[in-house]
């Protein structure tokens, strides 16, 4: 309740039409040591910034992504400030002309640098399961609920790189990307090369939910 009050106050004071709230917690400040004192008071920082959604043109036309090895640590489910691998992956993707980097671990798709990944095959939506290899985003959870409410089959299991490359449709989910169609993976066309019918339907469903 306390954080909700702070968030509402920050949003009101910001004056933004749409805002995004970021909350960061640490164990506190203490002399540099790997053994942390027990009596230190935690530190909390909350920032409110303007929410700038993905350009409507990209939502309508779709984006390109590239894959790369997932060399992050073993607890990707922990939302820590250790984002160097994600930053480097996203930068590499940008330099290659792609919007996002998708991580591949042992031949399986885990997630994007700043997003979760879903594919559509034969009308079924597939996405990596919750666990130590992904950060399960709020938008991912909401979308799975909405997908099932729409009567579409959804399965949480790891998708292979080959399945990704031969998917009928691919899309990303995330707070800042919402539901974003992918039309090219590593330079290869996804499906028809345009946002597919399932993705477009889910974009509309999500907009109704947040609207």
Supply 68's token pair: 């790369």
125-139 pLDDT, tens per residue?
Answer: 999 999 999 999 999
Q: What are phi and psi of 56, to 5 degrees?
A: -55, -35
Coil/strand/helix, residue 50: strand
164-181 pLDDT, tens per residue?
Answer: 999 999 999 999 999 999
> Measured between alpha carbons, how far is 100 from 210 in angstroms, rounded to an integer?
24
Query: How many Cβ atoms sit within 10 Å of the Cβ of residue 40?
Result: 12
109-127 pLDDT, tens per residue?
Answer: 999 999 999 999 999 999 9
Q: Confirm whether 79 is a catalytic residue.
A: yes
Q: What are phi and psi of 112, to 5 degrees?
A: -90, 170
The catalytic position among 79, 92, 94, 121 is 79
Fold of 56-210: D-amino Acid Aminotransferase; Chain A, domain 2 (3.20.10)
Of the candidates 106, 127, 138, the one whose C-alpha atom is nearest the C-alpha of residue 182 is 127
Would the pLDDT of 189 be above 90? yes
CATH 3.20.10.10 domain range(s) in the chain? 56-210
39-65 pLDDT, tens per residue?
Answer: 899 999 999 999 988 899 999 999 999
């Amino acid at each position: 309740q306390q954080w909700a009050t702070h968030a509402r106050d920050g949003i009101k004071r910001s004056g933004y039409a749409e805002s995004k709230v970021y909350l960061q917690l640490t164990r506190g400040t203490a002399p540099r040591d790997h053994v942390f004192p027990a009596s230190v008071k935690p530190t909390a920082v909350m920032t409110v910034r303007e929410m700038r959604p993905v350009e409507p043109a990209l939502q309508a036309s779709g984006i390109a992504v590239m894959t790369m090895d997932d060399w992050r640590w073993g607890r990707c489910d922990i939302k820590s400030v250790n984002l160097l691998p994600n930053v480097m992956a996203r930068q590499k993707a940008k330099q290659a002309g792609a919007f996002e980097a998708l991580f591949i671990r042992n031949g399986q798709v885990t997630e994007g640098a700043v997003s979760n990944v879903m594919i559509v095959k034969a009308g079924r939506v597939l996405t990596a399961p919750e666990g130590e290899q992904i950060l399960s985003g709020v938008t991912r959870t909401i979308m799975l609920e909405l997908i099932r409410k729409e009567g579409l089959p959804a399965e949480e299991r790891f998708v292979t790189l080959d399945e990704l490359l031969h998917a009928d449709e691919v899309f990303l989910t995330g707070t800042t990307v919402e539901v974003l169609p992918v039309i090219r993976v590593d330079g290869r066309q996804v499906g028809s090369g345009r946002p597919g019918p399932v993705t477009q339907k889910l974009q509309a469903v999500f907009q109704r939910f947040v609207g």
